[in-house]
Structure 1
């Protein structure tokens, strides 16, 4: 699933929401980058004196850093541009003759301003580092500098295991599980060891994005990074982890990273994963166990019988 640039020929629009989060209307723009899983609400400036039709475009971005392969390599049957028609004359059946704007005006993904800005704590209660890569075996994740593992969901879902009294530490290493204490202000640094960008998503949370860039692994693990944006940070449902910087041979020298903040106020077992479809297929993912003590206190009786039947593998 490729990211794409969205535009409408000879039209400007303003973004008023990102991933469902209201933002202050942006300046008028004519193009917006949209990654896999991201959404934008826009207000288009319509034309008052025309009966023309105009192309609406979704131009896929291929090749590095967007995808490992470029459309220029000749993928059979692949069309990297989706088209729709904006008609002012509803009875017209002719195709537009318009062309895409040459002078692109857009907005940076970090330049949005929330309609209700937040001020975040200077220091988080907990800092977790989630570093990922893709190997011949599949997607691998390292938690806080530990061994890389491919996520293997245990036979009994961790939500049921934890609610029955087990701890996150009791789960196998291959569960790629990290415990978060309920009510704490959490910082998660997602680290990209690849020369491709990756759109990540954490279930049931819309974290603030407070920083992003490229840095050495040493600086990331020692928290020697530029100051985070703690006032007016944008909250996003899907966020792009930038690629690493590469040398002349294409090898990573500085890794890409993004810094997220959120409050752990939703007890559960939540997956964080790359939003590119085939990266999900190779399990580029991990899980957060949020509010372990609270889940244990509620016990399995807190869940519906239908959910428990699924967790226990009961097809009835």
Structure 2
């Protein structure tokens, strides 16, 4: 057992201050078989996976020491949905608020949960690492809930790939995938497993905290002959709303009450169905509808698969906050951004807000704020490819997001909840995108729904409103991690003068040492220039634009024409005119060329595990 495992065990066994939670975790590779079909390598803590559910109470302090035990990867940690008032450097996204944690290095995440309660989660914010298992629930318990229940249950949903995201990434961000088709998952998971059994008792009310910890697909959730009574979304209490189906995108959370029946003469199916419309291709072998079991009586048969003709899911737009927060005043500043997926000169498909695909700076943006002095209010110093906006303290901000893409996207704002004041309905793929028109829009609600992660429909738009009352550097990005890796993000530098004046925001010695150990400066502009903050020479920039007239379809034709030509020439030169079977495959193998597109090829046959159903806890 390593030293961090010993520390972890000793702290679990010791009596600690009830309001201070100290955890020692080391990231380690673990072999696991989440769907019962194929073993793979995941990222765990202290040689264990899944990661533990962390619980605190409002007002508690967190001291989490994260040691990177991965020999070949950096890491980081984000507490999703937490405001981090005055502790922006603990927010987690690398090169935004912190430096990556190098192998064998340790970072202390030290903050107080001041004024939040509800359902949250924590995950790596390094590349697509949380898609390989580095994620779990983070629960902030309330002293008094505004609803009654008998028992609490935590449920995570996600998708599962039989390869690691590290293995999938080269073929995803590749000129051989010019349309940007996302890798297709093999299964969906319930609490990191499948065919899960939830043993319930009659005449009870269960408070179920549901979190989509996946990195790609949304899911429909429904229970045979039962209903969900929604009472919380993303840590915000809402007026009760009853529905038979929940639609939950990646990173969203729902708190629901589920009331059990008085009879124990039957068991029921708890279904999770992948939103297959998000897949570019749906292989025939892919099982999208996953069956889990709500068990009243262990002596009765387990239920069969349950399907519905029409999901008729809850539209979260119409939820109302329990405290009836009114629509904020008209905006002081409006940020208008258009979602576009397109190719650059290297043939790779990228994601853009307007014409910028997010490219990380050479210094974390928060470190730039703290070292820039009076220049911190100048957006230019944060880099030409980080798409950074400087906001004034106390202003009301509108983010108008026009989705010119044919896919659905869930967007998350760090450090805030926002009001969703308009969301246009889906527009067909063959129709032109409908863009926001400030002079012709739907009436805005008096009491808008508020949460930190919302989705925009294909070819449509949405408008989000929030108050810039939390000084810090906050990431706004698509929470489909494939799309974040393609660059679908902007950065909000909120009240930089307030950040500099707040002594709590000063970079800790540990922070600076983490930067030093990974070889990243902790001061200077986006180009790591600390002498002239307006000199961005040497900054990281995106690839050059394609020559005029090139399209993704043209790139596909060009790529495969080139492959065919190369293979043909090599085949002739090497094998002459001999009759050799499978010559293309042989030559491709010799050249280490993959003729199959990982993202669109049919997945292997998946099967239902026959025994060993996992209990829902």
Does residue 1:293 correspond to 2:497, yes or no? yes
- Contact 1:183-1:264 within 8 A present in 2 as well: yes
Inter-partner Cα distance in structure 2 for 1:229 and 1:117? 15
- Are residues 170 and 130 of structure 1, via their aligned partners in 2, closer, same or farther at CA, if it must alter by over 3 Å? same
Structure-to-structure mapping, 1:54-203, within 5 angstroms: 54-63=268-277, 67-71=278-282, 73-74=283-284, 78-89=286-297, 91-92=298-299, 94-97=301-304, 99-102=306-309, 104=311, 106-136=313-343, 137=348, 138-142=350-354, 148-165=355-372, 166-167=375-376, 168-203=379-414
Moved more, 103-112 or 186-195: 103-112
Moved more, 195-204 or 118-127: 118-127
Inter-partner Cα distance in structure 2 for 1:102 and 1:235? 30
Moved more, 47-56 or 172-181: 47-56
Inter-partner Cα distance in structure 2 for 1:170 and 1:267? 18
Q: Displacement of 1:32 after TM fit?
A: 1.4
Q: Displacement of 1:230 after TM fit?
A: 4.7
In structure 1, stretches of 5+ residues that fail to align are 143-147, 245-255
Equivalent residue in structure 1 for 2:446, among 228, 231, 234: 231
User: What RMSD in Å do the two structures reach over aligned CA positions?
Assistant: 2.6
Inter-partner Cα distance in structure 2 for 1:32 and 1:301? 39
Inter-partner Cα distance in structure 1 for 2:286 and 2:508? 45
Equivalent residue in structure 1 for 2:471, among 231, 248, 267: 267
- Contact 2:340-2:405 within 8 A present in 1 as well: yes
- Contact 1:196-1:242 within 8 A present in 2 as well: yes
Moved more, 182-191 or 207-216: 207-216
Look up the SS of the partner of 2:493 in the other structure. strand
Q: TM-score, normalized by length of structure 2?
A: 0.44
Which residue in the other structure is 1:3 paired with? 218
- Are residues 173 and 212 of structure 1, via their aligned partners in 2, closer, same or farther at CA, if it must alter by over 3 Å? same
- Are residues 205 and 225 of structure 1, via their aligned partners in 2, closer, same or farther at CA, if it must alter by over 3 Å? farther
Inter-partner Cα distance in structure 1 for 2:393 and 2:515? 23
Q: Displacement of 1:44 after TM fit?
A: 1.5
Q: Displacement of 1:300 after TM fit?
A: 9.7
Inter-partner Cα distance in structure 2 for 1:299 and 1:161? 16
Q: TM-score, normalized by length of structure 1?
A: 0.83
- Contact 1:163-1:299 within 8 A present in 2 as well: no
1:236-289 deviation digits (Å, cap 9, x = unpaired)? 121011111xxxxxxxxxxx2111111111111111111112112222111111
Which residue in the other structure is 2:37 paired with? none
Moved more, 29-38 or 95-104: 95-104
1:52-110 deviation digits (Å, cap 9, x = unpaired)? 211101101112xxx14242x43xx6321222110001x33742136334465542221
Equivalent residue in structure 2 for 1:303, among 485, 490, 507: 507
Q: Displacement of 1:227 after TM fit?
A: 4.5
1:134-173 deviation digits (Å, cap 9, x = unpaired)? 223411122xxxxx11211111111111111243222221
1:293-312 deviation digits (Å, cap 9, x = unpaired)? 22244489722222233345
In structure 2, stretches of 5+ residues that fail to align are 1-215, 521-617
1:176-222 deviation digits (Å, cap 9, x = unpaired)? 111111111111112211111100001111111011116988963x6
Inter-partner Cα distance in structure 2 for 1:310 and 1:129? 35
Which residue in the other structure is 1:251 paired with? none
Q: Displacement of 1:313 after TM fit?
A: 5.1
Look up the SS of the partner of 2:287 in the other structure. coil
User: Which protein shows a greater Rg?
Assistant: 2
Aligned length: 291
- Contact 2:221-2:245 within 8 A present in 1 as well: yes
- Contact 1:57-1:84 within 8 A present in 2 as well: yes
The structure, 1 or 2, with the larger RCO (C-alpha pairs under 8 Å, 6+ apart) is 1
Inter-partner Cα distance in structure 1 for 2:229 and 2:424? 26
Greater fraction of residues in strand = 1
Q: Displacement of 1:121 after TM fit?
A: 3.6
